[in-house]
Structure 1
Amino acid sequence: MHSYRVKLTSKGEVTVPIEIREQYGLHPGDEVEFVSENGEIRLVKSAKQPSRGRRIAESLLGKGDVPMTTEEIMALTRGE
């Protein structure tokens, strides 16, 4: 068993050490759960994870810089 000491920020945030992220395949956007049991708190990777495609799509929301409406873009994809 390894132990890592991290500080809680004023916003209640912690940084998960890189060794833990790599070992357990944790990536930005992954959901984790805090489990309280027998006076201890465990951090576990959530079983319900958004798909890789959903994470990519969500990361792109609001990033477009083309001044076109959705209808104009759809017309272009249809060849109109």
Structure 2
Amino acid sequence: MRLTEKGQVTIPKDIRDRLNIGPGSEVDFVADEKGARLIVVAGGKAAEPDDFAAWLKSRTGTFDTGGMTADEYMDWLRGSRDDLGSD
């Protein structure tokens, strides 16, 4: 991809389709330790009920847990479960 003199880039069609974005969609670029990520802010087209599996697949890998496993993340999210105790 090449940046134009106006600082613009064209988002490839396969990525636009995967993110469900089109004219009028609002996106942002977020810098992190890996580089930059394109984030859909608003304006994505709503998924049709028949297309839920495709929508779900398009979201795969878009959530950053900061290197935690799913179990570690759920423990962090739920907080301490000391109240459960052991019988």
TM, length-normalised to structure 2: 0.46
What TM-score, normalized to structure 1? 0.50
Relative contact order (C-alpha < 8 Å, sep 6+): which is higher? 2
Higher alpha-carbon Rg: 1
